[in-house]
Amino acid sequence: MLTSGGTPAPDAPVLRTGGVPLVPPGFTWPACAECEGAMQFIAHLPLDDGAVAVFYCQNAGMCDDWDATSGANRAFLFTEELQAAEVPTEGDTLLGAVTLLHPEAAPAPDDVVLGQLGGEPEWIQNDETPTCPRCAAPMTFTAALEEGLHHDTAANFGCGCGYVFTCRDCSEAAFLWQR
């Protein structure tokens, strides 16, 4: 389980929601394929061999931001050296707060669970494991993200849960959410 561990620096290379994404040099901030607006950065997930950055469209109700293949969300698996991204000046591009996430096998009774790292996904609806766009193999579940501590500073999954998947062989990542 992932629990809240305080507030790190916005560009800290730690497991967190919010803040500024860490990206390779030359990175272009993703835009929604449906409305063309700048996506919102929601999570930085360090892995043994890289890091995943998760983004999704904040044009609620207009774009299919829950679908892993709609183009209204993006997850990137980076394996190179990373730096803080240049944040677009227009659009709802950052969450209202940065939250450090602690992986814990057995959270304390008063801990707020904010997700899960590895293991098997606990689907709210049906299994929607995406396939890798390069090799067509089922992707590996990497993390689940709950909305967050406060509605005004958290990702909006319609009271649902976000799911992050990777294909490490192809350096691909995917994101979707369910409610």
User: Backbone phi, then psi, for 32, in 5-degree steps?
Assistant: -65, 135
Buried b (16+ CB within 10 A) or exposed e, 44-69: bbebeebbbbbbbbbbeeebbbbebe
- At 113 the pLDDT is 85
* Rounded distance between C-alpha atoms, residue 104 and residue 113, angstroms: 9
Task: List the structure tokens of 74.
Answer: 């993006």
Burial class (CB in 10 A: 0-12, 13-18, 19+), 110: exposed
Mark out the alpha helices in 34-177 (DSSP H runs). none
pLDDT < 70 stretches in the chain: 60
Residue type, 85: A
Determine whether 179 is exposed, middle or buried from the number of CB atoms within 10 Å of its CB (0-12, 13-18, 19+).
exposed
* Per-residue pLDDT tens digits for 21-37: 999 999 999 999 999 99
CA separation for the pair 79, 175 (Å, rounded): 18
Residue 151: per-residue pLDDT? 74
CATH H-level superfamily of 2-178:
YwqG-like (2.30.320.10)
Residue 30 amino acid letter: P
Distance CA 93, CA 34 (A): 16
> Per-residue pLDDT tens for 56-79?
998 867 899 999 999 999 999 999
**pLDDT value, residue 31:** 97
Judged by DSSP in three states, 83 sits in strand
Cα 4 to the center of its chain, rounded Å = 16
